[in-house]
Amino acid sequence: MADRRLYIPPADGMDASAVATLQGRGLPEHVLTIFRAVDQLRGPSTADLDYDVDGWVIGYSREDDELCLDRASHRVLLLATWRPDAAIAVNDSLTSFVDCLDAVLGMAPFYPQGVDMRVSIDVARSVRDVIDGIDRVATLDPDGFWGAFLDDLANGDYPG
């Protein structure tokens, strides 16, 4: 699986860790179907949401919802249109988000086509352990970015 990286110029006001991640490591261009990076940072579109976010869009989820780096908390947030009342914390920092994406890329393919459900559930548990080891914030919301991915993984949706 090719790992093409995008090195996006950082924005004014971005914390040093995020700048180092964008310039040094870059973002994976895409990860499976769960993440697609932007090629240029821009402000979030919150017109259909009941809140505002001061930060930068770094990519899109599989549902085409924006993933945003929040200026104040430095967290990566999912601006989910299906949850318009509040942003969902994805990771505690851009660095831990990229660490989780890279870990997922490194573990794929996860299992063969037609795998027994018990195997896919065990794989999802193992992947959850790795993600939790990187950033405990990542899986706090069972309906969030990583929670939804892990549910799909357990259901056998990511054969290789």
* Cα-trace Rg, the chain: 15
Token output for 55 = 């930060």
1: pLDDT strictly greater than 80: no
**Per-residue pLDDT at 48:** 84
In a domain, 159, yes or no: no
pLDDT in tens, 84-93: 899 999 999 9
Look at the block and give the residue holding tokens 């809140």. 51
Note down the domain range covering 131. Answer: 5-154
In a domain, 160, yes or no: no
- How many domains are contained in the chain? 1
